[in-house]
């Protein structure tokens, strides 16, 4: 059976290797993007080059809303239309339920 409790050394080692992997992945991704820009720039297609640069800038500035009140959740209207409407209970029905 797999040991569910990890030692402190094992968790630290995992965190360290994951950090190194993330760092390596990030540097490779950055290098790849720079190579793509260099390739477009060297092909003397100025429009394609600036389009790639602008695309890069647009993706950098995107951030999620800072507060939950700014998040808009759109629920499909179809789900609500299909539901049966429940009649509100009368005062007599509520009193009967509370008494019993």
Closest C-alpha to 89, from 79, 98, 80, 77? 98
pLDDT of the residue at 1 = 41
d(CA 36, CA 45): 13
The answer to whether 13 touches 6, Cβ cutoff 8 Å, is no
Determine the 3-state secondary structure of 67 from DSSP: coil
* H helix or E strand, kind and range, residue 94: helix 91-99
pTM: predicted TM-score of the whole model, two decimal places: 0.42
DSSP letter for 61, please: S
d(CA 37, CA 100): 76
If one compares 56 and 17, the residue with the highest pLDDT of the two is 17
Q: Taking the mean position of all CA atoms in its chain, how far away is CA 56?
A: 19
Residue-wise pLDDT tens digits, 3-33: 656 788 888 889 999 999 999 999 998 898 8
């Amino acid at each position: 059976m797999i040991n569910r409790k990890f030692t402190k050394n094992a968790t630290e080692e995992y965190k360290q290797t994951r950090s190194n992997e993330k760092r390596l992945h990030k540097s490779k991704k950055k290098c790849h993007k720079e190579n793509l820009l260099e390739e477009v720039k060297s092909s003397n297609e100025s429009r394609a080059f600036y389009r790639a640069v602008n695309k890069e800038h647009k993706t950098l500035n995107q951030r999620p809303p800072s507060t939950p009140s700014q998040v808009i959740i759109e629920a499909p209207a179809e789900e609500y239309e299909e539901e049966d409407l429940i009649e509100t209970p009368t005062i007599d029905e509520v009193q009967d339920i509370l008494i019993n």
